[in-house]
Chain A
Amino acid sequence: MAFLFAQFLTGLANASSLFLVASGLSLIFGVTRIVNFAHGSFYMLGAFIGVTLMELLPGHVGFWGAILLTGLAVGAIGAFVEMVVLRPIYRAPELFQLVATFGVILVIQDLALMIWGAEDRLGPRAPGLRGVWRIFGEPVPKYDIVIIAITPFILFALWYLITRTRVGVLVRAATQDREMVGALGVNQAWLFTGVFALGSALAGWGGALQLPKGGADLLMDFNIIGAVFVVVVIGGMGSLPGAFIAAVLISVLNVLGVTYLPQSTLVLMFVVMAVVLIIRPYGLLGREEVAGEHGQVGAPETPIRPYGTTGQMLVIALLALLAALPLFADRFLLILMIDMVVFALFAASLHFILGSGGLVSFGHAAFFGGGAYAAALLVFHTDTPMELAFLFAPLAAGLLALGIGWFCIRLTGVYFAMLTLAFSQLVWSLAFQWREVTRGDDGLVNIWPSPWLSGTVPYYYFTLALGIGGILVLRHIIHSPFGYALRAGRDSPRQAEAMGIDVKRIQFAAFALAGVMAGLAGGIFVFSKGSVFPTELEIAASFDALIVVFLGGVKTLAGGVVGAGFMTVAEDWLTRLEYWRLVLGLVIIAVVIIAPEGIVGSLRRLWTRLRGTDEEALQ
């Protein structure tokens, strides 16, 4: 019993950082409607800056002063990011801003690498709090007790700020209608910057406070973001007490998990989240989100049309070029082209549910990696022939999508996005921790195609046939009654329901289909590389797909494909550089700011302008 209580206290202490980071994310989302992916990066910056400051400043005052200063420094960095990166694009479609924050992640990763190097830093102990206190005979670190005592005050201070002060009233009003707040004489630009700075500062404090219990390393950003999303989703978007309860719940469960079920620590929190969401779809203390906000901002979409003769000729010419490529291209170019087609199919499958369905999935890698793992596991454990195992990739991914979709489709907007991310993290943690089956991060290797496909050229044609075939199938479906019904459900769910369309069921079917296509891409991928690792299931893989869809253009059918081509080539060039993430991040941010309609959308606009015709006048 005493041991359990001590465990509980450890969990409470861990909850402190998690709560700080999660409340910051929740606050920023509430006002700016931006799901700030870079929030984990601010947490990481908090840890590194904290370590540096603690080394510089000695003693009690130095330690706590360093923590305080860290928050202020990270808050200032947050304000800078908001002003430079986000301010120019608030009018762009919401989800484009996500891509920008992802660019920020990449930039901060490389900047941290430049400044602090690749080595992990151990956090210094808090002066005067090095030992333990015995509680019911069990040792509990003194620092833990101090943190447990501090956290409720932070919660109270935040709660007071939001519910009892003028600033809080303005923040809550801006959450609902920022333009109106501006029309009432409030400078909302500074309100946004202030909220973003506060949210970032909270993440920075979270990073600094956990230092004596952990340390600082370059993987912290992605490691915490999954947990933070889970906390925000369980607690309910925008609810501070909810975030606190959820942070405690997750942290305590985590500590108990480490003791009793050490293989399941990562999986456990997602299971808890799934259970909570089945009972309360909008989290413990959350409220239903107004649906249909996402992707609806910006200029209205023009109706889709089949390509004209010029367009068809271009596509045929491109296909002919691809088919003739092995005649003159070398092996490296063919491999690059295989990567590109695989990525294009993966992106097209995400584009299908995102563009036509309005379903913004943050966890699409689950199906790509899931398909790859399904095929690889069969080959690895049962020596299944490649042809059969390959078929299993889309099948398994489709089944996985049915399972995950069953939970996720019931939600909308940001809840849907977060839940898909959490489920993909669940799949990732299975691959990572269930070592007996998946070999963990050693990956599954020697997954090669059958002899008739083992050459680069035959595999290139195999990829071309299935990859391009899959993309064309998706394209055809977008033009079919099913695709129209999907779009109807996105444009106006209310009208769609009132004309006999079961919107959720249509979305469910589309989600499963997208899963099948992503799994197909995963299948082609695994046999082209001969191996698969948990990295294919990571958040970063899902984000890659999201980025290419947005870079290509959500509102154009070719968006995913063009974006994938751009990204594959760009990564191929950039990864030769030492700080390629920095460059890529800056490129992403630049594209978002300069071409907010995506590459295809912007090209189309340029084309229209060059021809000097007015599309609307013609219609």
Chain B
Amino acid sequence: MTEILRVENLKKSYDGFLAVNGVSFAVKQGELKALIGPNGAGKSTCFNMLMGQLKPTAGEVFFDGARITGKRPREIWRMGVGRTFQITGTYQSMTVIENVQMALISHHRRLYSVLPRAWKLYREEAFEFLKTVSMQDQADRPCSILAYGDLKRLELAIALTHRPRLLLMDEPTAGMAPTARVELMQLVADIVSEQGVSVLFTEHDMDVVFAHAHHIMVLNRGELIADGSAAEVRANPQVQEVYLGGGTLFKEASHA
């Protein structure tokens, strides 16, 4: 398998505080890879550097062999990287399908067009994307009244519109009910296997991570302390100590 994303010695410091300290890894084509770690370990900082929201202090990021370090989010998007956010960023004043149409308008480079009516453009195409995430029944509802889980699915549909080769998903299931989490990640896994998209995601729900990720990386205090299969990571003593814990919680549960 070829590498789609390669990160070399990535660093970021804020006012002397090293949030990310020399992280290197790769994501292969068609891989579903998780980045986990305690809150504040630097996961979001890492993600934001990959997608161009933050400029790294040092290090390089390559997408499909091309250097994307320090490029703007919109440039990286145009190269074929999609992203979803931890806190959803959909357009509240538009309908569900208009949110997808907006992405298509941008993909087809019609942003400065002033003559056509926007809601008539690429409607069928947008509808197909909504079908992929089973949101077609809600196409014409205002985005502002959607349930949280539906917003997450809508965001996924939006991220797929430019047929990305790599998807970056920041806590895709945060704030969702357990069953909805499993459904959403199954959907992502299907997309990975059907379309050959690679996915890198961060996640706190260990059930989701261990059930779906092909490979798992663990970040702690800005450094990568593990990178391997689910079994390898689970067995890693350092990971248990700083992140997974010794399972005392479950022992206490038995006498409660």
Contact = CB atoms under 8 A, between A and B. Distances in A.
Tell me, yes or no, whether A and B come into direct contact in the complex with CB atoms closer than 8 A: yes
A482 B142 contact: no
Interface stretch (B30-38, B107-115, B176-184, B246-254): B107-115
A497 B121 CA distance: 20
A476 interface: yes
Nearest to A477: B114
Given A483-B118, A619-B140, A498 B145 contact: no
A303 B53 contact: no
Given A303-B142, A304-B93, A619-B140, A498 B106 contact: no
Given A301-B144, A481-B121, A482-B111, A495 B116 contact: no
B153 to A, nearest CB: 15
Contacts of B62: none
A495 B111 contact: no
Contacts of B113: 480-482
Nearest to B75: A500
A494 B114 contact: no
A128 interface: no
Most buried by B among A479, A487, A488: A488
Interface stretch (B11-19, B97-105, B186-194, B200-208): B97-105
A294 to B, nearest CB: 14
Given A485-B105, A499-B102, A499-B158, A303 B111 contact: no
B111 A491 contact: no
B50 to A, nearest CB: 12
B21 interface: no
Contact of A497 (B73, B92, B110, B145): B73
Most buried by A among B94, B118, B161: B118
Interface of A is mostly: helix
A304 B94 CA distance: 7
B106 A499 contact: yes
Contacts of B114: 476-477, 480-483
Interface in B104-145: 105-107, 110-119, 121, 140-145
Contacts of B51: 498
Nearest to A476: B114
Most buried by A among B74, B111, B118: B111
B53 A491 contact: no
Interface string A84-102: 0000000000000000000
B65 interface: no
Contacts of B63: none
Indicate the size class of the contact surface on chain A. Answer: 20 to 34
A191 interface: no
Contact of A500 (B78, B92, B116): B78
Interface residues of B, number: 43
A155 interface: no
Contacts of B111: 481-482, 485, 501-502, 506
Given A300-B142, A500-B106, A480 B93 contact: no
A483 B117 CA distance: 10
Interface stretch (B82-90, B222-230, B232-240): B82-90
B95 interface: yes
Contacts of A468: none
A480 B121 CA distance: 10
A482 B112 contact: yes
Contact of A485 (B90, B93, B95, B106): B106
B152 to A, nearest CB: 13
A303 B94 contact: yes
A500 B140 CA distance: 24
Contacts of A613: none
Nearest to B144: A300
A495 B157 CA distance: 13
Contacts of B116: 480-481
Interface of A: 300-304, 306, 476-477, 479-485, 487-488, 490-492, 494-495, 497-502, 506, 509, 616, 619
Interface of B: 51, 53, 72-74, 77-78, 83, 85, 89-95, 98, 101-103, 105-107, 110-119, 121, 140-145, 158, 161-162
Given A499-B106, A501-B74, A509-B112, 10 more contacts: A300-B145, A303-B98, A484-B118, A491-B91, A491-B93, A494-B53, A495-B85, A498-B85, A499-B107, A501-B111
A-B interface, 5 closest residue pairs, ranked by CB to CB distance from nearest: A495-B89, A300-B144, A492-B89, A491-B91, A484-B118
25 contacts: A302-B93, A302-B144, A303-B98, A303-B142, A479-B117, A480-B114, A481-B105, A481-B113, A481-B114, A481-B118, A482-B114, A483-B114, A487-B91, A487-B94, A491-B92, A491-B93, A495-B91, A498-B74, A499-B74, A499-B102, A499-B107, A499-B162, A500-B78, A502-B111, A619-B142
